[in-house]
Chains A and B, each alone.
Chain A
Amino acid sequence: MAHTAEEVQKQVRIYISVFVALMAFTVITVGVSYLHLAVIPAIILALTIATIKGLLVAGYFMHLLSEKKLIYWVLILTLLFFVVLLMIPSLTENEMIRKAFHVS
């Protein structure tokens, strides 16, 4: 990660660009919501924009783009647990799986 004054100065310019991008995406996501799209496309679009915004914050403000491997592993493990725990209850709602396990 950058520590010399010039490198930090360079990063500050990047922070300003990220700030502008985040504002633009906020305006877009609110604007799109007034178009009253169907539920599925609306969800996909809103979550895609939110994910881009989230990646910008994590990548630049939280310095993840220039972070050490260990931090990546911590986050990969966390993401894995999150997805598995998210899927387990959602899958029990799934008709096919309920039938396979004879759950009424």
Chain B
Amino acid sequence: MSTAIIHYIDEPHPVTGVTNSKLGIWLFLASEVMLFGALFSAYILLRTGSDVWPHGSTLLNVPLATLNTIVLITSSVTMVMAWASLAMNRFSRYQLYMSLTILLSFVFLVVKGFEYGHKFEHHITPATSSFYAIYFTMTGLHGLHIIGGIIVNLYLLLWGSRLWQTNPKQFTGRVEAAGLYWHFVDLVWIFLFPVLYLL
């Protein structure tokens, strides 16, 4: 049986100066910019094209969203600390920070769940208005990204962390890539929060 080897996943490629893994995750994030970018464009068109547009705070729960902003920013810090712990060769610290990141991600989802639940109780759905249509689409897609991040981070915390024993450099690279994705998800929320809730 032949094994396909992917080169330059634990050391920088001489031409690009970065590992292929890092280039790969950045190209993926570039495609994510276009995905969310399309929805932000849709928001602008819907808003400029409508005669009246509600102020987000009159329809949505600003304190809950502020709490979620704080939770997500904190999870970004614990994520970067998880990577820094590996770079400093402290594996148990890594496990602690990664667990905290996953815990905070669940807190975010639960708070978002309360927000959604409250809306559905009042029979408010994406069909209610253009505002709610773009609100549910953007926060829903963002929520799916949170779930995706949780799955990857759980893998890196549990059985995926076996790689630390055999190739710590590659494992640190994986955590860095997962971190880049996680910070991107945080970054999207940093824009979603004022656009949907505060303006």
Chain A interface residues (CB < 8 Å from chain B): 2-3, 5, 8-9, 11-12, 15-16, 18-19, 22-23, 26, 29-30, 33, 39, 42-43, 46-47, 49-50, 53-54, 57-58, 61-62, 67-71, 74-75, 77-79, 81-82, 85-86, 89-90, 93
State the CA gap A75–B27 with chains docked (Å). Answer: 9
Q: How many A-B residue pairs have CB under 8 A?
A: 122
Q: Is the interface of A mostly helix, strand, loop or mixed?
A: helix
In angstroms, Cα B41 to Cα A85, docked, is 8
CB distance from B105 to the nearest CB of A (A): 15
The answer, yes or no, to whether B62 is at the interface (CB within 8 Å) is yes
CB of B190 within 8 A of CB of A74, answer no
Which of B71-79, B114-122, B152-160 binds A? B71-79
User: Is the Cβ of B34 less than 8 Å from the Cβ of A81?
Assistant: yes
**If A26-B66, A29-B198 touch, does A57 touch B187 (CB 8 Å cutoff)?**
yes
Where the two chains meet, the residues of B that have a C-beta atom closer than 8 Å to any C-beta of A are 16-18, 22-23, 26-27, 30, 33-34, 37-38, 40-41, 44-45, 48-49, 57, 62, 66, 69-70, 73-74, 76-77, 79-81, 84, 87-89, 179-180, 183-184, 186-187, 190-191, 193-195, 197-199
Nearest Cβ in chain B — how far from A13, in angstroms? 11
Other-chain contact of A50, B57, B180, B183, B190 (Cβ < 8 Å): B190
* Chain A residue contacts of B16, Cβ below 8 A: 68, 70
Chain A residues closer than 8 Å to B191, beta-carbon distance: 50, 54
Chain B: which residue is nearest A49 at the CB level? Answer: B194
Tell me which residues across on chain B come within 8 A of A5, comparing CB atoms: 87-89
B57 touches A33 (CB 8 A): yes
Asked if B17 and A69 make an inter-chain contact with CB atoms under 8 angstroms apart, the answer reads yes
From B37, B41, B73, give the contact of A23 (CB < 8 A). Answer: B73
Known: A46-B198, A70-B23, A93-B45. A86 touches B37 (CB 8 A): yes
Q: Which residue of B lies closest to A8 (CB)?
A: B87
Closest to A69 in B: B17
Q: Which of A8, A12, A53, A85 makes the CB contact (< 8 A) with B190?
A: A53
Bound together, the chains give a CA A73 to CA B73 distance in angstroms of: 27
7 more contacts with CB within 8 A, not counting A15-B84, A61-B77, are A26-B66, A46-B194, A61-B79, A62-B183, A79-B33, A81-B34, A93-B49
Choose among A29, A58, A86 the residue that contacts B41 (Cβ–Cβ < 8 A): A86
Would you list 12 pairs from A and B whose C-beta atoms are within 8 A, ordered by A residue?
Answer: A5-B87, A9-B88, A16-B77, A54-B187, A57-B76, A58-B183, A62-B183, A67-B18, A68-B17, A70-B17, A71-B22, A85-B37
